[in-house]
Amino acid sequence: MIDAALDGPADFAGRRAAARRLVAAKPAPEGVARALAGEAPGLFGAAPPPPPQAGRAAASVPRGFLDLAEVAIRHRDPERFALLYRLLWRLTHGEAGLLQVATDPEVIRAQAMAKAVRRDAHKLHAFLRFRMLETESGTRYIAWFEPDHHILEAETGFFIRRFAGMRWSILTPEASAHWDGEAVRMGPGGRRADAPAEDAQEVLWRAYYAHIFNPARLKPAAMRAEMPKKYWRNLPEAQDIARLMAEAPRRVAEMVERGATPAAARRQRAVVADVEAAMPDLFSQDPAQALAALRAEVLADRGPLAVQATQAVFGEGPIGAALLFVGEQPGDEEDIAGRPFVGPAGRMFNRALEEAGVPREEAYVTNAVKHFKFTPTGRRRLHQTPDAGDITHYRPFLRREVEIVAPRLVVSLGATALRALVGKATAISKVRGEVIRTEDGQPLFPTVHPSYLLRLPDAESKAREYARFVADLKAAWREVQ
């Protein structure tokens, strides 16, 4: 086994040099899998690869691979190094046109990683807000941001070009960047408390935002998709969104009365409908109050499944939880207790969480369908899988619940949860263990439901799949650390 030492999680130059030495030394990908598997012991500070054989030329790869790798290496997936080395190996061992094979699973995965990194960089550019701080050495501008991937160092150039005349610092949980007007210095990560909560210029910024807010073009769903609530805590203008949305119908009506065209009148009606359906509690600055209101709404739901069920079962856990787990529906014991994940599958889930090192009390758990769907057979109630109509009925509740809790990562447990979150039937086998995005932009990590493990026919397969499930939970937990 060969180790490859890198300086950090997004050390592209180091990875490129190490990869050249590895290819020249001719080890197959399985011979370096441990070294390039991610931030595991031995990756940083391990012994370097052996020197290339004398007389062997450096590997030549397409420019497109270098461009792809330079972005994908910033992804948080600990398997990114191994994936990129496998692609490099294939490109230099008979598959020169690999990147043009649009159906290749490894090419698809690398491109998806790069796409996620670019999206994260876009969010950094759009939603970073500097706040002014007076220090002994003069004025400095401080910003706090929580990126999904290792993007800070690569994106400092954008802020240098845009704010070259300011002295600024960008703080993230894992790293920080500091610009003094001449050079940028990278430092350790910080805390939200290290950045100012507000400054005197926010009044001007909020006034500007309110001035450019066009009520006739308000699209709440698109707004939530483009600006997920996880970013609101750092945006001064976020505290005005609820008011601006509430005022939108009146303002548009006034515009129409002043002499609008028929098209404007139609837009006005559409805006009113959108705002009424936009779930105002979602924009409340008090998430606990919003979640309580949603819970009351779910408990009062009289949908088709509520007729037989004992009660609706709402989610539980802390607001702002790093991980939010979504299961299928309450089972028999959950239906009676009124709490999620307390039956046989829930007990297996809790055991797996403990083995994965995920604190159960720090996670939020809920279900895609809020009532127990079953077939009565005498004294027993047999679980019945929710259909597309059931999922559609409860999906608005689930989306609101996720946005109010605002987790860093949602973990879908089983096919029903995955369908509810992505909006269509999706094979778990195609996306299991990968971070994908919901249509709202929420990072999502799909895996199986623990009840699947209970249904396996023999002890050997149960042990194997249980270990794989625990590994999935560990991977999800690493994503939010």
Looking up residue 346, the CATH number of its domain turns out to be 3.40.470.10
pLDDT digits (tens, 9 = 90+) for 381-427: 888 899 999 999 999 999 989 988 989 899 999 999 999 999 889 99
pLDDT digits (tens, 9 = 90+) for 319-364: 989 999 999 999 999 999 999 999 999 999 999 999 999 999 999 9
> What residues make up the domain containing 240?
209-278
Instruction: Classify residue 2: in a domain, yes or no.
Output: no
Q: What is the pLDDT of residue 60?
A: 75
What percent of the chain lies above the pLDDT cut of 70? 74
Assess whether 262 and 213 both reside in one domain. Answer: yes
Assess whether 296 and 435 both reside in one domain. Answer: yes
Assess whether 108 and 186 both reside in one domain. Answer: no
- Pairing assessment for the beta strands 175-179 and 184-188 based on DSSP bridges: antiparallel
Assess whether 336 and 458 both reside in one domain. Answer: yes
Instruction: Classify residue 353: in a domain, yes or no.
Output: yes
> b/e for 167-191, b at 16 or more Cβ within 10 A?
ebbbbbeebbbbbeeeeeeeeeebe
Instruction: Classify residue 4: in a domain, yes or no.
Output: no
Instruction: Classify residue 202: in a domain, yes or no.
Output: no
Report, as an integer, the average pLDDT of 56-73: 81
What's the total number of domains in the chain? 4
Report, as an integer, the average pLDDT of 441-466: 92
pLDDT digits (tens, 9 = 90+) for 158-213: 999 988 889 999 999 999 999 999 999 999 998 888 888 776 667 666 777 777 77
**Alpha-carbon gap, residue 80 to 86, rounded angstroms:** 10
Q: Which of 101, 122, 143 is the last residue of a domain?
A: 122
pLDDT class of 58 with cuts at 50, 70, 90? low
Instruction: Classify residue 258: in a domain, yes or no.
Output: yes
**Alpha-carbon gap, residue 10 to 352, rounded angstroms:** 31
Instruction: Classify residue 199: in a domain, yes or no.
Output: no
Instruction: Classify residue 331: in a domain, yes or no.
Output: yes
Instruction: Classify residue 6: in a domain, yes or no.
Output: no
Asked if residue 426 lies in contact with residue 418, where contact means CB atoms within 8 angstroms, the answer is yes
Query: Residue for token digits 């039937």?
Result: 425
Assess whether 235 and 334 both reside in one domain. Answer: no
**Alpha-carbon gap, residue 442 to 465, rounded angstroms:** 27
Assess whether 221 and 336 both reside in one domain. Answer: no
Assess whether 155 and 293 both reside in one domain. Answer: no
Assess whether 403 and 370 both reside in one domain. Answer: yes
Assess whether 261 and 298 both reside in one domain. Answer: no
Q: Which two tokens stand for residue 448?
A: 């199986």
Assess whether 219 and 338 both reside in one domain. Answer: no
